[in-house]
Amino acid sequence: MDITAKMVKELREVSGAGMMDCKKALKETDGDMDKAIDYLRTKGIASAAKKEGRATSQGIVGSYIHGGGKVGVLVEVACETDFVARTDDFQTFVRNVAMHIAAASPVAVTREEVDSTLIDKEKEIYREQMKEQNKPADIIDKIVEGKVDKYYSEVVLLEQKYVKDPDITVADYLKSIIGSLGENMQIKRFARFQIGG
């Protein structure tokens, strides 16, 4: 099948991947746009995994103010070089993450950063709920673990569904940017402020 410039452009707009990557993805998938997107996501994740151990000593602090000044976010995103930190793609990513934080109100970047007393309290609540429903003791632990995982997916930034594309998590979005920009990146920390919140 002939891969046209229009097809490459369309895939690039949807995926944010480079022109050559989009062209290759379309060739590999015989011009099937959905399969090409999956192909790019798989390659982006594989390429992101290779870059994980590399130092991230550059980056920017991005901000986003929403709702007439009622919600504000600061987020630090690190990358390997100042060159990448100054690119439009990187800065757009940082702004999108800040907007996501404003909308989704995560409490931490990773599971490890969530206060353990908060998790213990959630487990206690879930256990009591299961006991009231007369669930067998051996099943309760499994149900509680499942509920805790679901809780993490709601409050941990990297595990949340990305607000602009609920088919992926913020971690998936990060990996796709790492794949397209070719550098390791980390969302280091954030602060979310809300009037009366």
Q: Which residues contact 80 (CB under 8 A, 6 or more apart)?
A: 54, 55, 56, 57, 58, 183, 184, 185
Residues 105, 169, single domain; the answer is yes
Using DSSP, state whether 155 is helix, strand or coil.
Answer: helix
CATH number at residue 25: 1.10.8.10
Angle among Cα 128, 133, 134 to the nearest 5 degrees reads: 95
Residues 130, 161, single domain; the answer is no
Residues 66, 43, single domain; the answer is no
Residues 132, 146, single domain; the answer is yes
Residues 82, 175, single domain; the answer is yes
Residues 88, 172, single domain; the answer is yes
DSSP 93-115: HHHHHHHHHHHH--SBSSGGGS-
Residues 85, 171, single domain; the answer is yes
Q: Which domain holds residue 65?
A: 58-109+156-194
Please, which pLDDT band fits residue 162 given cuts at 50, 70 and 90? very high
Nearest to 8 by CA among 44, 37, 45, 42: 37
CATH number at residue 80: 3.30.479.20
Total domains in the chain come to 3
Residues 125, 168, single domain; the answer is no
CATH number at residue 121: 1.10.286
Nearest to 77 by CA among 158, 14, 197, 152: 158
Residue with more model confidence, 112 or 136:
112
Measured CA to CA, the distance from residue 40 to residue 62 in angstroms comes to 27
Q: 71 vs 61, 147, 163, 184, 193, CA distance in Å?
A: 17, 29, 16, 29, 6
pLDDT, tens only, 55-90: 667 999 999 998 788 999 999 999 988 999 999 999
Nearest to 104 by CA among 151, 149, 162: 162
Q: 78 vs 48, 53, 59, CA distance in Å?
A: 14, 13, 4
pLDDT, tens only, 179-192: 888 888 999 999 99
pLDDT, tens only, 16-34: 666 777 888 888 888 888 8
Predicted TM-score of the model (pTM): 0.69
What phi-psi label fits residue 129: left (phi over 0), alpha (psi between -120 and 50 degrees) or beta? alpha
Nearest to 12 by CA among 36, 47, 46: 36
What are the beta bridge partners of residue 61? 76
